[in-house]
Chain A
Amino acid sequence: MAQNVLEFLERSAERFPDSIAFEDQEETLTYREVREMARRTGSAIARVTGSVNQPVVVFMDKNIRSLVLFLGTLYSGNFYCPLDSQMPESRIRAILQVTESEIILTDRAHSGAVHQFADGAAVICWEDIPGTDEDPALLAARMSLVTENDPLYVLFTSGSTGVPKGVVVSHHVITNYLEWLDQTFDMDEHAVFGNQAPLYFDISVHDLYGAIYFGAKMVIIPPALFSFPVRLVEFMNEKKISTFLWVPSAMSIVAALKTFRELRPAFLNLVMFAGEVLPRKYLDYWMEHLPDARFANLYGPTETFVCTAYLCTGQEPAGSTMPIGRPVRNVQAYILDENGQPAAKGATGELCLAGSCLATGYYNNPEKTEAVFVRNPGIPGDPERIYRTGDLVRENEDGDLIYLSRRDYQIKHMGYRIELGEIETAAYAIPEIRDCVCIYDEKRKRIVLYYDGKEMDKKELRERISSKVPDYMVPGKYVYLPVLPHNANGKIDRKALAAGN
């Protein structure tokens, strides 16, 4: 197995030097150019610092130059922390405080802003890289100090206390995933990955290293196109996009507006979703119109990258939730009950994961790390760490995992243990409802259903939900909003709704 993901870049640059590796609205870069610019970047970093395995912040707009800078940090023996120039300044400052990065990579357009919060860090601009000589001996020396267990990136997720947590992921996690991808789907250098996710969101890690692994192309889809589905499909056809991994919200508008009446994606053969629950009615639309494409539902918190996958068959019962499937290679999944013991077959419990998917932990935060990366209570004496996802799952008859809800969304109401996700699934089956979320109002002891789509008569809505869930699960209040709030990653913002409760 590869020690360092750069081995894949070296391989693809040798096999396909003149193939386009990355493309955005402004430019394209071939594998030869990517390798050369990344090695120059690595040399520039290595001349400034003697450190290895330290975080290097990359502060950019979303573009392919950022990708080269990510790879450059790896050539210097360090790892990267992507920051987006659109992030709120308070969040940028909070992250910089945690990383204490010695070096910040950016471009001229942002160097002014970066100098304001650089706090003594060296700033290297993209525009300086072409004039920087590559130092192969220096790079080789630094990279020889990096093992497969050393960090590849640190990505920040929101912490419950408001201080962002940096999840550190090692080379071996991504290498293991790529080998699973290779064994599971027959992709090659002709694949074109259509990127949707922000570069600070780990879904984009799939696009970046998936393309590099196969010597294929990653195309950044202009974010504005996700509001205009016909233009989106036109773009996908123009760029011959053959595969993508998107958050489900990104495909919902395509289905909701029945886009494929006008135009269908002509080159798509592998469609994957991750990051939130897959709304079945929209997925069905895609599957019906792309009968030759394969569809997969992937699952994985940032702390475990992609750890389970379900390959859709099209035979799943209508209206049911799509499973999150089974662990990918070298990953073990345990379902533990409230006492940390293995749950009975088919019973609900917390999903815990072990094996080659696990993050190293939270950067500079041993307390938080120890709270969720723990010894397996189900197997006494097992030295291996498991990650407690906080997600409730159960196994179906076929041995596939079904995601139910966050553990935090499991409530006790009128003496019953209720998973709010189950009520949401019932509400999603109502055609007038586009998106919905249930929140428990602790003060008034009632379940509140927030929804968008078409405003419905409360009595009728109540009756329709009553027909699907037991009485004690029927929400006590219904709130129609023109648009449910979404966070930066495109997921429904539960916190904002709960705060306004």
Chain B
Amino acid sequence: MDKIIEILEDLVPDEEFAGRTGLVDDGVLQSIVILNLISELDDEFEIDISVGDVVPENFDSVEAIWALVQKYQG
């Protein structure tokens, strides 16, 4: 999960992500951020996130993103 926080903080430098929820409603995840986040997650965790999983529920919090990554790793 720390790795996800690190990736997010790298992509959106002005935001705090530890324990963060409500990422979608707060407008933090602009399309360009989502796009880069997915390619970083794919590379870092050697997964291939399908566009069908690129939905708000899977990106609304750091925990949700972590759960998504684990689903692909499992």
Residues of A whose CB lies within 8 Å of any CB of B are 223-224, 226-231, 249-250, 252-253, 256-259, 261-262, 434-435, 452-454, 482-484, 486
Contact = CB atoms under 8 A, between A and B. Distances in A.
Contact of A230 (B12, B33, B55): B55
A257 B36 contact: no
Majority SS of interface residues in chain B?
Answer: helix
Contacts of B24: 224, 227
Given A224-B27, A454-B39, A257 B51 contact: yes
A226 B30 CA distance: 8
Contact of B56 (A231, A253, A258, A453): A231
A259 B51 contact: yes
Contact of A257 (B11, B32, B33, B38): B38
A228 B33 contact: no
Contacts of B11: 482-483
B32 A486 contact: yes
Could you say which interface size class chain B belongs to? 20 to 34
Q: Which 4 pairs, one residue from A and one from B, show the smallest C-beta to C-beta distance?
A: A257-B51, A253-B31, A227-B31, A227-B34
Contacts of B34: 227-228, 253
Contacts, number: 67
A481 B13 CA distance: 12
Interface of B: 10-12, 24-25, 27, 29-36, 38-40, 43, 50-52, 54-56, 59
A228 B52 CA distance: 9
Contact of B31 (A226, A452, A484): A226
B54 A229 contact: yes
In this complex, which of A262, A434, A452, A482 has the most chain B Cβ atoms within 10 angstroms of its Cβ?
A482
A65 B48 CA distance: 42
Contacts of A250: 31
Given A228-B54, A228-B55, A453 B39 contact: yes
